[in-house]
Chains A and B, each alone.
Chain A
């Protein structure tokens, strides 16, 4: 997810300016731009990630490498590849510290998602663009050759936050009753081989036992 602002100049070419409405865009979303030499004509569209980071986003064949390179220039990046690297690093850190849990992946994903949303909100607040509860609509009129005749931006402020639908209540699925079998042998939980657990987690758990 990348925050793009209308009027924003390109990372690599200050002669190119965003003409698409301000907002948060997926890395690959196409963003229209114009050239300062000819501001009345939309010249084309680039991906949001290119506008933000430049050609580096197309340099690598491996997403992990791309993420690492983006983080070098923007440690707080919300680019998908950068997020992936950050989550990987977090999981690796937990693994090395022996704190990796089966639910760690879910937690890291959730944390990254929250962080991303916060950054998007921060970015909007800082620039006072698209605050929560506002909707910006840009209407552009063009002639037959694609030249912009005029452009009108309307900001509608809602009196209250945009309602968020509550999570639907899902009724528990009926489960056939299964008779509980009580083992007649005393089992030490540490002797159970965790075959059903992710092998990585299994290794960590063994580490913990050793500790």
Chain B
């Protein structure tokens, strides 16, 4: 029969879209092709939601305020701050998240000993990772000697790690702990690597930045943990001491703004890019309403005058007070970012949340005593306006999602309040997207295995961090029941999938040889993930096709509606499909595509007709077909092609609409009576059509094809 199908199953070769190859499945960075034991384990789509349970590891610590450091294209370090009852020490958790496998691996934790032994509550949290590779280094015993280095002046701290032979930390096989930084060119190691000739090296320095409020209010403020390295985060924990009088030790330093600290109602902290090894600014918003102001610190300043770990030299300035509309959130509030749209277009700015607005201030306006530091603000307007979704008046958290040039605005979750992703505007435009829902599902390890993890609100706020298109969402709570962290491929949301970095799923080209008509494309995808009772439907996807510009990726994509109807599309020798996925929805559970098939008609005999030997006649040179399958409407134009079966040469081509080389007839009684051909659909099982060419040579072996068009 001439009705053909071509199928693609997502089990073949793949390539990243950045290395486009029309013979392979092309994947955006957050789009994956998964394999597994069963048929439904083999699918393509955005990375499934990753899940971590900080309260279910060997040392359970309620983890919030995620901060993520990308290590390579597949690996993220995910740090979380301790949300347990306020205490004199706080812990920091580290996970490693594999984007490829979607697995969080709990690496361990450190305990931070504050120089002030009164109960701290973390309000802001960041980690920094700095790689020092300037100059070259050689080693003899535990002595490292640098050339062209400035280690001491760069405030490299004791306790960090150094690797040799490369400046790429991912290529270092053995790390060595720094015991002391003696000069610009001298470092002493804890253990000897032997002798290493001068060459490239890398110092890998981790720091933690923590802003706290305190039971003794003047013991709050900004703290910096220096001299950290990856392996300190171990499952037995490592305790970091409070600093005393010496800078750049592995210790916790208090960057006080005054002898008696005034940055006591800190709302969080925001960090700007490092300007140099001696300058990187931190912005701490302080005060909930009428005393709202910004403290600016230089977190890489050399700390002098240290006493009991406290120094005033990191403090830069404090703005004047300015009263915002709404109440300023104290949940890790504040982000520095440069959006490429809106009032802050191209302007490095500090964004922060109050209950009813998102505020912006240009960093250059954060000056000493300036009371006009709040540049502008965005009021809460849900998508569709307040007549579609009620105002939450409970905005709680803002994050800059740089890969999609948007803000993630999280609500407190109170009474199931939903959250947003939006451009920043100050003209009351509605927010772009609303997402998450409160279906009350628990994602504990003891939850039903048929349920599928997703970031349900559970009437609680989420703290979020966006890194490389992945939104890490940690529910702010303290219990094992609901303290989970989710990795959601937010950057793959279909609105943004078509912009760099492209987050689409593109099939290889699918061959449709001799296609004369395209019918439909059929897609098998997950209707529900999880068990019959507990499962949930994934978010939808949409589909595009193209029949040209496939090999060089130059063809224009055409959106298909949900009928996936391809009729009316001019066929080609191949076709290609592209998927885009919705992520920002009720559950954020990404779709999973298993396979797809295209149905088309090729130029062999049309599938509605069967060649009839009984009604054909070699003597009279008549070619007949039984009308076997109704079209369901008017019969389209048909084409007959007669070929020399030996040579393949075309002998004749004619159509039912404009026949010029022969005549068409039709019978509805099994060939007893033949009448004029018409386009009426099949009437009965004894309907036949036949064609008689005006002239046709003798003694030729003829192959006759009846097709549409």
Tell me the smallest distance from the CB of A164 to a CB of chain B, in Å: 28
Tell me the smallest distance from the CB of A16 to a CB of chain B, in Å: 9
**CB-based contact B117/A42 at 8 Å:** no
Say whether A121 faces chain B, with CB atoms less than 8 Å apart: no
Other-chain residue from A30, A50, A142 in contact with B239 (beta carbon distance below 8 A): A50
Say whether A47 faces chain B, with CB atoms less than 8 Å apart: yes
* B162 / chain A contacts, CB cutoff of 8 Å: none
Q: Which residue of B lies closest to A43 (CB)?
A: B249
**CB-based contact B113/A42 at 8 Å:** no
* A29 / chain B contacts, CB cutoff of 8 Å: 117
Interface range, A side = 20 to 34
**SS of A interface (majority):** strand
* A61 / chain B contacts, CB cutoff of 8 Å: 60-62, 84-85, 478
Docked pose: A41 CA to B250 CA in angstroms: 13
**CB-based contact B241/A59 at 8 Å:** no
Say whether A37 faces chain B, with CB atoms less than 8 Å apart: yes
* A145 / chain B contacts, CB cutoff of 8 Å: 246
Interface centre among A44, A47, A50 (most CB of B within 10 A): A44
Residue-wise, chain B 320-343 has the 8 Å CB interface mask toward A (1 for contact) of: 000000000000000000000000
**Chain B contacts with A in 519-570, Cβ cutoff 8 A:** none
Q: Which residue of B lies closest to A44 (CB)?
A: B241
**CB-based contact B246/A41 at 8 Å:** yes
* B239 / chain A contacts, CB cutoff of 8 Å: 46, 50, 55, 58
Say whether A39 faces chain B, with CB atoms less than 8 Å apart: no
Docked pose: A37 CA to B117 CA in angstroms: 27
**CB-based contact B88/A44 at 8 Å:** no
Say whether A99 faces chain B, with CB atoms less than 8 Å apart: no
Given contacts A30-B115, A38-B180, A55-B111, contact A45 B241 (CB under 8 A): yes
Docked pose: A43 CA to B84 CA in angstroms: 28
Say whether B144 faces chain A, with CB atoms less than 8 Å apart: no
* A44 / chain B contacts, CB cutoff of 8 Å: 113, 241-244, 249-252, 309
Docked pose: A33 CA to B243 CA in angstroms: 10
Given contacts A55-B111, A61-B84, contact A47 B237 (CB under 8 A): no
**CB-based contact B117/A47 at 8 Å:** yes
Say whether A101 faces chain B, with CB atoms less than 8 Å apart: no
Q: Which residue of B lies closest to A58 (CB)?
A: B111
Docked pose: A47 CA to B89 CA in angstroms: 9
**CB-based contact B237/A59 at 8 Å:** yes
**CB-based contact B236/A55 at 8 Å:** yes
**CB-based contact A50/B85 at 8 Å:** no
* A45 / chain B contacts, CB cutoff of 8 Å: 113, 115, 241-244, 308-309
Given contacts A58-B239, A142-B245, contact A46 B60 (CB under 8 A): no
* B111 / chain A contacts, CB cutoff of 8 Å: 55, 58
Other-chain residue from A33, A42, A47 in contact with B88 (beta carbon distance below 8 A): A47
Q: Which residue of A lies closest to B304 (CB)?
A: A144
Docked pose: A37 CA to B85 CA in angstroms: 36
Interface range, B side = 20 to 34
Residue-wise, chain B 112-152 has the 8 Å CB interface mask toward A (1 for contact) of: 01010100000000000000000000000000000000000
Q: Which residue of A lies closest to B243 (CB)?
A: A44
Say whether B179 faces chain A, with CB atoms less than 8 Å apart: yes
Q: Which residue of A lies closest to B84 (CB)?
A: A61
**CB-based contact A37/B179 at 8 Å:** yes
Tell me the smallest distance from the CB of A154 to a CB of chain B, in Å: 22
Other-chain residue from A37, A47, A59, A146 in contact with B244 (beta carbon distance below 8 A): A146
Residue-wise, chain A 37-69 has the 8 Å CB interface mask toward B (1 for contact) of: 110011111110010000100110100000000
Tell me the smallest distance from the CB of B439 to a CB of chain A, in Å: 28
Docked pose: A47 CA to B117 CA in angstroms: 8
**CB-based contact B88/A28 at 8 Å:** yes
Docked pose: A145 CA to B113 CA in angstroms: 21
**CB-based contact B244/A58 at 8 Å:** no
Docked pose: A47 CA to B113 CA in angstroms: 7
Tell me the smallest distance from the CB of B152 to a CB of chain A, in Å: 11
Tell me the smallest distance from the CB of B116 to a CB of chain A, in Å: 9
* B251 / chain A contacts, CB cutoff of 8 Å: 43-44
Q: Which residue of B lies closest to A13 (CB)?
A: B239
* B306 / chain A contacts, CB cutoff of 8 Å: 146
**CB-based contact A55/B237 at 8 Å:** yes
16 additional contacts (CB under 8 A) given A50-B239, A58-B111, A61-B60: A28-B88, A30-B113, A30-B308, A33-B241, A38-B179, A41-B246, A42-B244, A44-B113, A44-B244, A44-B249, A44-B250, A45-B113, A46-B113, A58-B91, A61-B61, A146-B306
Interface residue ranges, A against B (CB under 8 Å): 28-30, 32-33, 37-38, 41-47, 50, 55, 58-59, 61, 142, 145-146
By Cβ-Cβ distance, the 6 closest A-B pairs, closest first, are: A44-B241, A146-B246, A146-B245, A58-B111, A44-B251, A28-B117
25 pairs from A and B in contact (CB 8 Å cutoff): A28-B88, A30-B115, A30-B242, A30-B308, A41-B246, A43-B244, A43-B246, A43-B251, A44-B244, A44-B309, A45-B241, A45-B242, A45-B309, A46-B113, A46-B241, A46-B242, A47-B117, A50-B239, A55-B111, A55-B237, A58-B89, A58-B239, A59-B59, A142-B245, A146-B245
